[in-house]
Amino acid sequence: DTAVSQTPKYLVTQMGNDKSIKCEQNLGHDTMYWYKQDSKKFLKIMFSYNNKELIINETVPNRFSPKSPDKAHLNLHINSLELGDSAVYFCASSQRTPNTDTQYFGPGTRLTVL
């Protein structure tokens, strides 16, 4: 059973389009994340939701909008795609504790914007 799953695994689209990436976790965690890994392989957090509430929003263009229908799902919608959005996007989840945070990652979605 996959703990954190993402769909699709690959996404190729034209500039200007709107697309969504879905993420689901079956670990019972209360916190979910979206990360972007750019061409330099730098993995950087974009958003974090705890129990459907946004708790981290790093400096990300407002073309990116996360949506959390329940605590097991965190989807990422991207409007008006640009070339620079091409990257691998990872979803992750964790159980929020006072002193530690071990995040479990999905397999990633490789987005290519043409």
Q: What residue ranges bind another protein (CB under 8 A)?
A: 4, 31, 33, 40-45, 48, 50, 55-56, 90, 92, 94, 96-108
Q: Which is nearer to another protein, 15 or 44 (CB)?
A: 44
Question: Would you call 86 helix, strand, or coil by DSSP?
Answer: coil
Residues 84 and 71 sit within 8 Å (Cβ to Cβ)? no
Shortest approach of another protein to residue 95 CB, angstroms?
11
Q: Which two tokens stand for residue 21?
A: 């990436």
- Which residue has tokens 């407002």? 62
CB of 85 to another protein, least distance (A): 19
- Cα separation, 86 vs 2, in Å, equals 25
Most distant CA pair in the chain: distance in Å? 43
Closest CB to another protein among 18 and 101? 101
Closer CB to another protein, residue 42 or residue 69?
42
